Amino acid sequence: MNSALQTTSTRPYLIRALYEWCGDNGFTPFIAVSVDASVSVPQEYVRDGEIVLNVSMDATSGLLIGNDAIEFKGRFGGVARDIYVPIGRVLAIYARENGQGMAFPLVADVPPESAPLPNEVPDVAAMAVPTKPVLLKEGSTAPKGGAGPLPDDVPPRPPTGARPTLTRVK
């Protein structure tokens, strides 16, 4: 039986499930990302430390949503760029068309000097913010940072009236 420290995060599984849901329903999946030194994205498109990326099949090449990171090639201003996003930096995945999806708490960074030694039990409280995922519902606001430029082949989202807001699901 696996203990809580040995299980893998549910975040990559939920991201893959919502990505598939978007595709099955003809929606465009977007991810909101908190950018730091571990994230490889075009810095000129980062706003307030965040970036929103179109991760649809039409906008990406070689998309891989793994348990540790999301990797793909995307076009920005007509130039292909390699994108690398650690799973812990993904703040939300949602459908562009209706804002439905899921938001996640930001995983706190563990400074190298406090990283556990191989025989030590890590302090879980220092590694993650202990909150539950948040669902985005219609009529709610998507995460900030979505006002930045989109890849060339993505038309801007038309105004729809009521803006989505985050609602915590318990």
For the chain, the domains span: 11-168
Longest CA pairwise span in the chain (Å): 55
Q: How confident is the model at residue 122 (pLDDT cuts 50, 70, 90)?
A: very low
DSSP-assigned beta bridge partners for residue 74: 60, 81
Asked which of 101-110, 121-130, 131-140 is least confident by mean pLDDT, the reply is 121-130
* Per-residue pLDDT at 7: 79
Residue 120 token pair: 């030590």
Which CATH topology does 11-168 take? Answer: SH3 type barrels. (2.30.30)
The pLDDT score that the predictor gives to residue 148 is 42
* Residue 124 to residue 103: CA distance in whole angstroms: 21
The answer to which of 22-31, 32-41, 80-89, 161-170 has the lowest mean pLDDT is: 161-170
* Strand partners for 168: 134
pLDDT at position 16 is 97
The Cα–Cα gap between 169 and 42 comes to 33
Tokens of 94: 């949602």
CA atoms of 105 and 91, how far apart (whole Å): 6
Average pLDDT over every residue of 128-153: 47
159: CB partners within 8 A, 6+ apart: none
What average pLDDT does the chain have? 76
Reply yes or no on whether the pLDDT at 23 is more than 90.
yes
Q: What is the band of 165 on the pLDDT scale with cuts at 50, 70, 90?
A: low
pLDDT tier, 107 (very low <50, low <70, confident <90, very high otherwise): confident
Q: Where is pLDDT greater, at 52 or 136?
A: 52
Q: What is the pTM of this model?
A: 0.64
Mean pLDDT of the 78-105 span: 95
